[in-house]
Structure formats: structure tokens, C-alpha cells
Structure 1
Amino acid sequence: MTQKTWFITGASRGIGAEIAKAVLTAGNQLIATARNKTDLDQFESNPNVLTLNLDVTDEAQVQAAVAAALERFGQIDVLVNNAGFGVLGGIEETSAQEVEWVYRTNVFGLLNVTRVVLPSMRQRRSGYIINLSSIGGYRSYPGWGIYCSTKFAVEGITEALHDELAPLGIHATVVEPGYFRTNFLDSSSLQRTAMQIPDYAETVGKTRKIASERNYQQQGDPTKLAQALLEIVNADTPPLRLPLGTDTLEAIAQKNAYVEQETAKWRTLSESTNYR
């Protein structure tokens, strides 16, 4: 494996921090970013690390961070768009402002960073973009609808990027973790809607209860997730989509079976809409 330079957003905690640690252990160079640079102190003493303040929703700050990374290391080989947070609540319960907040980071922020990193990758005809999605990027659930919709967007963006960039020697992968044992279900990463409507107690309410019970009991190991990313980056034919965790694999199988069954049931009506 050759040494690579990784640029990771949201590297101060959770999955982002685990990826950053794995990258350094493997002998790579790292640009670790977070909204508050002081949260990256664990990486400061390593000469192979550049830590930067980065709010991905601030386009000027994104441009400055990428410029600093290129000045220090000369190139960015792997971009990991990891920065993001969740919102838990029913569709009707989620205010326009709460929707805007999560989209600004999870979708628009990812696009901000990707647009600024890509020119140098195109120039070298080499690079790798890893976009962190979720089990909720493939299948939505009660209470997670708005969050899942941001990850559905990440999936669509990555599928298009994969085809647009392949002829230029750049690969794109969307990673779909299930429930991993990080702080994602804490208030530091998960926003709960201010409004809670009693009529949704049996759907969204149950999801809120499950989220509280599952916090720090998740079955996924984030250190193994990080190792999986190192493996695909060095693979000859890396995947477009990488589900991680048995819960994600099960959710994908269930949705695929449901879609196949429903498509078969309504096939005659679907086919009837063509011009004859």
C-alpha cells in the first residue's frame, strides 16, 4: 500500500475520529477537520497531520481549508465526507428550520467540500471520494424520514459522481453503516424535534424509545468500519456502494424483496402507461 493523503470532515469524534486514527496507523498523511479545531488535539502532535477549522456549510472556509491542505501536502488522494448529524422526529413534527439545518450540513456541506476538492483530483486524474451515508440512505423509517432523506440525497449524488468521475480516474463510493457504537444517538450528534405530536406515539414515539435504549449498545464496531475503508481504498475494483453491518445487509434484503414483490403485483398497470 502506498502512502496516501486523506482529507476527513467531522474528524473530532465518532466514526470520523476512528477513520482518522486508522489512516495514521497505516502510515498515511491526514488533514483532520472539525468545526472547532481544539477538538482535534489528539492528532496535533503527529507530523503527518494538519488540523483545520472547517464548517462545511461555509464555502469560503471550505476553500481556505482545501487550499491549506494542498499547500501542506501537495495533493488530496482520499476525501471522506463524514461531517453530519441526525434529526429524530416525524415528518409533520419537523419544522422548516430543523429541516434546513440538517440539509445544510449533510447535503449542501458535502457538496461544498466535494466541489472544491475535485479540481485537483481531475488535474492529476486520480483520487477517491468516500461519502458517508447510512442504513437510512437505502431504507427510511418512522421518525428518521428527514434524516434519511438527506442520506438518500447522498446516495443519488454518489451514484452520479461514480459515473461522471470514472473516466477521469477518480472513484466514488457511498458507505452505508448500520448502527455503530459511537455518540451518534447523543445530543451532540442527534437533534430531536421540538414538536412531538401524540398521534405519532405508536410510530415515531417507538423510534424515540428505541434510539434511547440503543445508545452505546449498537452492535457495530467503528474501528472495524475504519479498517474496511482502508481496504476499499486499496482495492483494485472498489465498490460503488458499501453496506457495513449485518443490520444494513438485512435492511437492504428486506427492501429489495418488498420492491420486487410490489413491482410484480402492479406490473400490468405500470406497463399500461406506454404509448402503444
Structure 2
Amino acid sequence: MFDFTGKNVLITGASGALGTTLAVQFAGAGANVVAAARSRYDEVAEKAGPNSIGVRLDVTSEAEWAAATARAEERFGPLDILVNNAAYLRLGNTESIPLEEFRRVIDTNLTGTLLGIRAVAPSMRAAGGGAIVVVNSIAGLTAAPELVAYSSSKWALRGLMRAAAKGLARDNIRVNAVHPGIIETPLAYAPDGSPIVPVDNLAVPRNAAPEEIADFIMFAASEQARFATGTEIVADGGYGLGPLD
């Protein structure tokens, strides 16, 4: 479906369900994959195959971003694609969310994405251009009172994505976002195992498989999307339509 032969891709949050799926699918499409995460990155790289490496990356650390980018360039050359997929979620409304947890969500989801774009932009310029995909969320499109920190970070990401797209346009670097609906990952469930967002009454009454969302992300990163930048792709199973009854 997609051809990424010879392209060098760095994926953050690679140890999660979506990140691992992205690593495997990009590698299967011919890419050289850098699987970046705080843990289990070597395990993901092994799943993705011989043209993959794992690197430790806490996305909130500028030093670790510099090290991860340097390791990627050392192994494969300049980066062509960055998928900002790492995310942290903590339940809580405006009154109940602990301040330190609010800050951690913002630091991971928003600041981590900023640091990633800053780290890879020089590498992409050296490659003659590139594509950055920000994995956003339906929480960045709607009101989510019990996800006040997560929703705040995702709404802010929309501004960051557009500003980066405009700022990097003359460098031939495209920046787009994908807004998934509820994906079948641990992030979809509260600590007690109940779904954070029920989907039974949506147009598509199920959670998305990671592979389905990975296809949208790969499209945004591909040459098929070469005329798009500063764009938001919504893959929410009809969540934005509201309940059917």
C-alpha cells in the first residue's frame, strides 16, 4: 500500500500498542526504523526487523532527543520522517487533577512534541525535506472534562502543529496531524478496567485496531500526502457525529 523504501523514520512512544504497530508496518513498507521509547525499545526493534534500531528516549529530555537523533543519523543517515506518537494520560477534571500530573501530561504531550520537531528539523533539512506526523486525539477536538490535562495538551498541539507547518514549509518539511478515535490500547481504559469513552452507540461501535490508525499515520507521512501540510486527519469512527440515539 505504501512504499517507504530507503526512508529513515523515527517513532516515539514505540513501546506502546500503536507505536509497535507503526514500527512493524513502516519496516514492512521498506523503511529504516528508529524505535524510540523509555523502555522495551530493543524489543520493538527486534519485532520490526533487521533495518530497525531501538533507542532510549524520554521525549521531555532535550539531551535524549539530541542523542536519539544522532544515533539515528549514525546508523541510517538524515531522518526523513518523524512520528510524534508518545503520550501520557491522567484522568481528572479541573478541580481534581493533581498539579504535578497536569504538568507531566503537558510536558510529555506538548513539550515533548516541540522538542522532537526542534531535534529533527536540521536532519530533515540535510535530507532535502521530510514529513512530521503529530498523533493527536479526539480529545483535541471536543470537550473532555475528565481528561482536562490530556485535552488541554491535545488542543495546544493543534496550534503547535500549524505553527511548525508554516515555519518549516520553505524547508520542504510537511507537518500534519492525525486525530484517532478510541484505539484498543491500555490508554482506552480506566484503572478499574472500564472504558474511558464508551463507543457502543457510535456510528462505528467499536474501538479502532492500532493497524487501522497506523494506516492513516503512514498516509500522512507518505508521498501520497505530499500536497498536504498543516492538515488534520480525523479517524474517529464517527465520534464527532455524536451518539446515534
The TM-score normalised by the length of structure 1 is 0.77
- In the TM superposition, 1:1-276 aligns within 5 A as 1-3=3-5, 4-36=7-39, 38-44=40-46, 46-186=49-189, 210-211=195-196, 218-232=206-220, 233-235=222-224, 236-238=226-228, 240-250=231-241
CA RMSD of aligned residues (A): 2.4
For 1:112, the aligned partner's letter is: L
Superposed displacement of residue 212, structure 1:
7.7
Q: What secondary structure is seen at the aligned counterpart in 2 of 1:32? A: strand
Change (3 A) 1:249 1:90: closer
- In 2, Cα distance between the equivalents of 1:154 and 1:234? 23
Superposed displacement of residue 19, structure 1:
1.1
Superposed displacement of residue 221, structure 1:
2.0
- In 1, Cα distance between the equivalents of 2:21 and 2:9? 13
For 1:78, the aligned partner's letter is: I
Q: Which residue of 1 aligns with 2:202?
A: none
1:159-187 residue CA offsets vs partner (Å, 9 max, x unmatched): 11111112221100011011111121346
User: Would you say the 8 A contact 1:177–1:248 is kept in 2?
Assistant: no
Question: Which has the larger Rg?
Answer: 1
For 1:238, the aligned partner's letter is: A
Change (3 A) 1:250 1:13: same
- In 2, Cα distance between the equivalents of 1:65 and 1:2? 21
Change (3 A) 1:219 1:213: closer
User: Would you say the 8 A contact 2:23–2:44 is kept in 1?
Assistant: no
User: Would you say the 8 A contact 2:57–2:64 is kept in 1?
Assistant: yes
- In 1, Cα distance between the equivalents of 2:78 and 2:128? 12
- In 2, Cα distance between the equivalents of 1:95 and 1:226? 32
Q: What secondary structure is seen at the aligned counterpart in 2 of 1:211? A: coil
Superposed displacement of residue 118, structure 1:
0.6
User: Would you say the 8 A contact 1:11–1:33 is kept in 2?
Assistant: yes
- In 2, Cα distance between the equivalents of 1:83 and 1:100? 15
User: Would you say the 8 A contact 1:176–1:248 is kept in 2?
Assistant: no
Structure 1 portions without partners, runs of 5+: 193-207, 252-276
1:199-255 residue CA offsets vs partner (Å, 9 max, x unmatched): xxxxxxxxx9651866xx94212101112222232213235111112234426xxxx
1:12-62 residue CA offsets vs partner (Å, 9 max, x unmatched): 1221111111101111110001101x3541432722001011111121111
User: Would you say the 8 A contact 1:34–1:40 is kept in 2?
Assistant: no
Percent sequence identity is 31
Change (3 A) 1:212 1:246: closer
Structure with more helix by fraction: 1
- In 1, Cα distance between the equivalents of 2:198 and 2:41? 27
- In 1, Cα distance between the equivalents of 2:14 and 2:87? 11
- In 2, Cα distance between the equivalents of 1:173 and 1:42? 25
Change (3 A) 1:248 1:75: farther
Q: What secondary structure is seen at the aligned counterpart in 2 of 1:30? A: strand
